[in-house]
Structure 1
Amino acid sequence: MRRDALRTTRTQDGSKVAVWQLIGSSVRILRLQLPRRSFTAYRLPSRTLLPGAQPGTIVFDTYPDLADARELLPRHEDLWNILRDDYWTALLNPADHPDPLEP
């Protein structure tokens, strides 16, 4: 897998999904999806509504790291804990490190 590929982390029951990337050695979270919720999608922290996006979606204005995501949305600690584990797995996986001989 390319190191900067989009990754998905979800809670065991599937009620929360985070889409993120590993950039260098940092997590950058693109969006949070709550598939069982039907609120109008919006951007955070600006609170700009995104009526054309999938309901139950929060898209981040800037891509927070895990610490910032925890501060912005602390009630989703269960998802952030799972994402932390996925992050460390990806960070330490040799297959996720770029080949220095490839252009």
Structure 2
Amino acid sequence: MMRRDRLRTTESADGRKVVTWRLVGHDCRILRIQNRADASVAYRWPGGESLPLAGPGLVSFDESAAPDLATVRDAFPGHHDLWDALRDAYWVALLNLADLPASATET
């Protein structure tokens, strides 16, 4: 059986941006953003802690406090193409009945 909380990735249409996320209940929780066209030093958000061993253009979020789509859309408005792709992938994942755990009453 597939797990709904598995790691998922979604790319922008041009393939330059990637978001790693997890479906937690009915919420989309963001774990990482990778902008392949950005040479900036990787960092953890919101504190800005530098992540020198991570690749450039990476923004990481603590899994225990991973933000939702609305939060990252507001915090990173320059990635609207990625957020639109993620919104579409989120709804597909949310409505995928094959991905739902089996009911306790089913045999």
1:96 & 1:26 partners in 2: Cα distance? 15
Offset of residue 36 of structure 1: 2.2
Tell me which residue corresponds to 1:77.
Answer: 80
**Superimposed CA distance per residue, residues 35-93 of structure 1 (whole angstroms, 9 cap, x where no aligned partner):** 12221100111000000111110002431101001111011111101100100000000
2:50 is the alignment partner of 1:46: no
SS at match of 1:80: helix
Q: TM-score, normalised by structure 1?
A: 0.92
Q: TM-score, normalised by structure 2?
A: 0.89
Larger Rg over CA atoms: 2
When the two structures are aligned, how many residues end up with a matched partner? 102
2:4 is the alignment partner of 1:3: yes
Identity of aligned residues (%): 53
Contact 2:13 / 2:81 at 8 angstroms: preserved in 1?
A: no
Ranges of 4+ aligned residues in structure 1 off by more than 4 Å: none
Offset of residue 22 of structure 1: 0.2
Name structure 2 gaps, 5 residues minimum.
none
Please provide the CA RMSD for this pair. Answer: 1.4
Offset of residue 6 of structure 1: 0.3
Paired residues for 1:9-28 under 5 Å = 9-28=10-29
2:67 is the alignment partner of 1:64: yes
